[in-house]
Amino acid sequence: MIVLGIETSCDETGVALYDNARGLLSHALHSQIEMHREYGGVVPELASRDHIRRIAPLIRRALSEADCTLNAIDAIAYTQGPGLAGALLVGASVGAALGFALNIPAIGIHHLEGHLLSPLLSTPAPQFPFIALLVSGGHTQLMRVDGVGQYQLLGETVDDAAGEAFDKTAKLLGLGYPGGAALSILAERGRPGRFKLPSPMLHSGDFNFSFSGLKTAVLTLIHQQPEDPQTYADIAWAFQNAVITVLTGKALAALAESGLSQLVVAGGVGANKQLRCQLTEKTEAAGATVFYPQLEFCTDNGAMIALAGALRLQAAYGDQVEFARGFTVRARWNLAQDPENAPCVPIKPE
């Protein structure tokens, strides 16, 4: 089964082709970072318009790289939510229209499910069940994953997500957009131990997170220190270390309580080099294994959506299925509370 994946939830337009038998055939991506940089963040209307401009050329590019035609596609998967409503509508409408025109299924996929399953694109890949640490944009969650569509939320952030804390702290340090990546680069020049920041909720006894207070602690520290590049680099190191300490501690605690030995880390913050280094070291010491997506699949991309669509279609209906026509998008969507992730009413072929 060849699935065309379409991702347009925020500021990346991603298209990919995935084959259940052969794996990932191609993927094409356009990032809007340069367009949004002058505004210091994503402008939803501009994002939506850019998706409209980019999506058709990217589909043609993905087809060409895979040496595939539209008629060879068996199904389409598009990001249905969560995300920016206008941006989601671009991918959903194109996906549904192509499905109708080609008379093939078009299925909506939860954006976070795509991230959660993205390490399955790599070799070696994790096996179900596993614990997943999702650190993507506005989400920081720990989940137990027993299979496709079988997700149990163990804990999540009660305020700012880790990615949001990175971006807000970067702004306090006068860094550009995207702030999280810029802060990580600055932290590489920081001196360990000069400053110590709190590790919020590290010993809370549950699997929830909180990072807004850490951002406030950074603000207080900045006001107490001289404005010089080395000081800001040292503060960046202290902030990053505090976030990583919490993420690592909670993930290891979830592994220990569940009795599982596999940890999956997914989402944009999962590309952080120091986080990967510390998690790999700690999980190995605990006799467990950690899996990461390839760096190119940490940020939003079409490959993870194509994969999730292929797995859902195969698991639920095999290779023969039709779907009711029409589509919706869901700007807010809790994956754990809607584990079936059914975007429309399935119709069995007669």
Specify whether 90 is located in the same domain as 190: no
Specify whether 231 is located in the same domain as 303: no
DSSP-assigned states of every residue in 92-150: HHHHHHHHHHHT--EEEEEHHHHHHHGGGGSSS---SSEEEEEEETTEEEEEEEEETTE
Domain carrying residue 186: 126-292
9 belongs to a structural domain: yes
CA dihedral 118, 124, 130, 134 (to 10 degrees): -30
Which of 275, 292, 309 lies at the terminal end of a domain, its last residue? 292
Burial grade of 93 (CB within 10 A; 0-12, 13-18, 19 or more): middle
Averaged pLDDT score across all residues of the chain:
91
Q: Is 54 helix (H, G, I), strand (E, B) or coil?
A: helix
CB 342 within 8 A of CB 110: no
Specify whether 318 is located in the same domain as 284: no
142 belongs to a structural domain: yes
Specify whether 261 is located in the same domain as 166: yes
27 belongs to a structural domain: yes
Confidence of residue 325 (pLDDT cuts 50, 70, 90): low
CB 324 within 8 A of CB 345: yes
Specify whether 260 is located in the same domain as 152: yes
> Which sign does the torsion angle of CA 14, 179, 84, 150 carry?
positive
Specify whether 8 is located in the same domain as 108: yes
Q: How far apart are CA 43 and CA 293, in angstroms?
A: 28
Neighbours of 74 (CB within 10 A): 18
Q: How far apart are CA 5 and CA 79, in angstroms?
A: 8
131 belongs to a structural domain: yes
Specify whether 176 is located in the same domain as 96: no
121 belongs to a structural domain: no
* Average confidence (pLDDT) over 272-284: 95
Specify whether 211 is located in the same domain as 312: no
Token pair listed for 67: 């040496």
Which of 292, 311, 338 lies at the terminal end of a domain, its last residue? 292
Specify whether 130 is located in the same domain as 244: yes
Q: How far apart are CA 41 and CA 255, in angstroms?
A: 35
Confidence of residue 4 (pLDDT cuts 50, 70, 90): very high
Which of 272, 292, 312 lies at the terminal end of a domain, its last residue? 292
Number of domains forming the structure of the chain: 2
CATH label of the domain that carries residue 212? 3.30.420.40
Show the DSSP H helices in the chain as ranges: 33-37, 44-65, 85-102, 111-117, 162-172, 179-187, 212-224, 229-258, 273-285, 302-317
Please give the share of the chain, as a percent, with pLDDT higher than 90: 84
16 belongs to a structural domain: yes
75 belongs to a structural domain: yes
Tell me what pLDDT residue 344 has. 39
Tell me what pLDDT residue 335 has. 84
Tell me what pLDDT residue 177 has. 84
Contacts of 302 (CB under 8 A, 6+ apart): 5, 6, 7, 14, 15, 16, 27, 28, 29, 58, 62
What are φ and ψ of residue 3, in 5° steps?
-115, 130
Question: For residue 11, is pLDDT > 50?
Answer: yes
> Strand pairing of 130-136 and 289-291?
unpaired
Specify whether 131 is located in the same domain as 263: yes
The whole model's pTM is what?
0.91
Neighbours of 83 (CB within 10 A): 27
Specify whether 142 is located in the same domain as 33: no
Specify whether 134 is located in the same domain as 111: no
Confidence of residue 9 (pLDDT cuts 50, 70, 90): very high
